[in-house]
Structure 1
Amino acid sequence: MSSDLRFTSAQAVAREAGKLMRRRFEDKSSFKLSFKGHQDYLTEVDGEVEKLVVSRLRALFPEDTFIGEEGERNASPSVWVIDPIDGTANFARGIAHFCVSIAYLRKGKPLIGVIYDPMRDEMFCALAGKGASMNGEPIKVSGLHDIRSSTLEIGWNNRTGMTAFIKLVEKLTVGSGAGMIRSASGALGMAYVAAGRIDAYVENHINAWDVLAGIVLVREAGGYVSDFLAGDGLTKGNPVLACTPKLRNAFVKASGIGTPKR
């Protein structure tokens, strides 16, 4: 089946998932908060959304396999990678900044990226070779060329620890002059790079379901992304740097992630 059909289907499924997420978010009594680990939030809504997305896509594309944050871990040459709620901490705490993230890979190449923010009704999507859009309008990275005027998001997780995070923050802000935000959704951070809202997203370690849809978006919006899928990136995660291309060398030098343009 064609990538075009998968692309339109992923958008429809993301929108349906977003409706479920928003309905549950607006009724706090409808779910309970738990933890997978320190600062690693989980709600039953995560599992519900993943089951919805997988069931819809599996019905349409039974030959495909799935990798999901909350259960499915079956890689193949034709695989969907899903984060049902990226920004679960925000969702659980009543902060309206979260999304569903859906990526599709064929033979190891990311071809489709769909990120839907149901609270703002913003659909970020990209198909390899066809550009990136938000709600049907083309998007591009910022084009900024001076790191001292840039704004980046630096993602944090408990896999690499606070010391490594603080060192990265120091190198990118104090060391280079960039301004920093942290919104607790790596997928939306990547989407915002693609849309030119921020200039870079950097994280010492990120999982595939958090970042692959954003990688397609940033590349199709004209940005640079480090080689996230190197080694065991698909199954074990990797560092990531995504940025507007004129700041590639500056961010690579400051973060130690990625390769400079020769």
Structure 2
Amino acid sequence: MSAAIARRFEAARAVVADAARLAMSMRPPPGGPVGIQKSAQDWLTEADGAVEAFISQRMATLFPDDGFQGEEGGMTRKGGLLWVVDPIDGTSNYARGRNRWCVSLGLLEDNKPVAGIVAAPALNETYTALIGHGAHLNGTKMQASPVKDTRSAMLEMGWSNRVPKDVFMDRIGAFLDLGAMPRSGGSGALALTDVACGRLDGYLEIVINLWDVAGALPILAEAGARVSPFLEEGGLEGGASILAVAPHIAEAVATASKMKLLP
């Protein structure tokens, strides 16, 4: 790992910490959703734009030659090194004053994930990874789950209004046939980091975007989870499917999910 990437990683950790504090200061109180509903269960809050703008401006000042892509603003700068941000992942939770949401920032070098930071300030947790240096939760090294039997597994599946109901129900049914316990928490990035630290044994989402997963991909790789070829199967250009799963049950869950896995 080059010194340039390591320097960016350390700077990004500080930027995300500041962005997370900004998001906390803007979080609505518990109650009905606050924000604009873009489509079914898809929310936009004032914090989404404010946090993305904050991170974009800080990274432009620190690394003006780097590219930048955000959920709200799209690709605003291009470069061989690309920062990808989801300012509030889990906005439906955030909009109701719930705790399960995060600020996610990933760094890609030549379209390969090399560093990631996922901060969940309401949970007092920050996940980080620099390729070749391990994955950490609040500074403590972590690994994917050692579960070897799907009947002991806890699997999450994300919901999207872009996925037909019969497809969603088919995959959930396949998880139940494995004897697994299904979950759904409303934040793709945090579900992926839960796989990385072993709180979940697998996560599947049929359609998800780059900004939802960019921060978590290096964390999964360094934690030893198995992951589907999201970037190679269209994730750089638009929505694609992702599966992240504990290594010992990876093949069984991939078969049930009708997904391929990276070697």
- Give the whole-Å Cα distance in 2 for the aligned partners of 1:161 and 1:43: 26
1:131 counterpart residue number = 134
* Paired residue secondary structure (1:73): strand
1:60 counterpart residue number = 62
1:233 counterpart residue number = 235
Show structure 1 runs of 4+ deviating over 6 A: none
- Give the whole-Å Cα distance in 1 for the aligned partners of 2:60 and 2:27: 26
After alignment, is 19-28 or 127-136 more displaced? 19-28
Give 2:200's match in structure 1, choosing from 189, 198, 201.
198
1:129 positional shift: 0.9
2:257 counterpart residue number = 255
How many pairs does the alignment contain?
Answer: 259
* 1:118 corresponds to 2:121: yes
1:32 positional shift: 4.6
Code of the aligned partner of 2:18: E
In the TM superposition, what whole-angstrom CA distance separates every residue of 1:108-163 from its partner, at most 9, and x where no partner exists?
A: 11001110001122110001111100111101001111111100111111112333
Q: Does the 8 Å CA contact 1:122/1:134 hold for their aligned counterparts?
A: yes
- Give the whole-Å Cα distance in 2 for the aligned partners of 1:39 and 1:117: 21
Code of the aligned partner of 1:39: Q
Give 1:43's match in structure 2, choosing from 36, 42, 45.
45
RMSD (Å), alpha carbons: 1.7
Q: Does the 8 Å CA contact 1:64/1:76 hold for their aligned counterparts?
A: yes
2:246 counterpart residue number = 244
1:103 counterpart residue number = 106
- Give the whole-Å Cα distance in 1 for the aligned partners of 2:30 and 2:13: 26
In the TM superposition, what whole-angstrom CA distance separates every residue of 1:189-232 from its partner, at most 9, and x where no partner exists?
A: 01111111111111111100001211111110011111000143
* 1:141 corresponds to 2:144: yes
- Give the whole-Å Cα distance in 2 for the aligned partners of 1:22 and 1:13: 14
- Give the whole-Å Cα distance in 1 for the aligned partners of 2:249 and 2:68: 34
TM-score, reference length from structure 1: 0.94
Give 1:34's match in structure 2, choosing from 33, 36, 39.
36
1:213 counterpart residue number = 215
Q: Does the 8 Å CA contact 1:248/1:260 hold for their aligned counterparts?
A: no
Q: Does the 8 Å CA contact 1:140/1:194 hold for their aligned counterparts?
A: yes
> Residue 162 and residue 76 in structure 1: after superposition, are their counterparts in 2 closer, same or farther (change >3 A)?
farther
1:36 positional shift: 1.6
2:225 counterpart residue number = 223
Q: Does the 8 Å CA contact 2:117/2:128 hold for their aligned counterparts?
A: yes
2:71 counterpart residue number = 69
After alignment, is 47-56 or 69-78 more displaced? 69-78
* 1:88 corresponds to 2:91: yes
Q: Does the 8 Å CA contact 1:32/1:44 hold for their aligned counterparts?
A: no
- Give the whole-Å Cα distance in 1 for the aligned partners of 2:261 and 2:226: 10
Give 1:187's match in structure 2, choosing from 182, 186, 189.
189
Q: Does the 8 Å CA contact 2:70/2:85 hold for their aligned counterparts?
A: yes
Identity of aligned residues (%): 39
Consecutive unaligned residues in structure 1, runs of 5 or more: none
- Give the whole-Å Cα distance in 1 for the aligned partners of 2:12 and 2:257: 33
After alignment, is 31-40 or 88-97 more displaced? 31-40
Consecutive unaligned residues in structure 2, runs of 5 or more: none
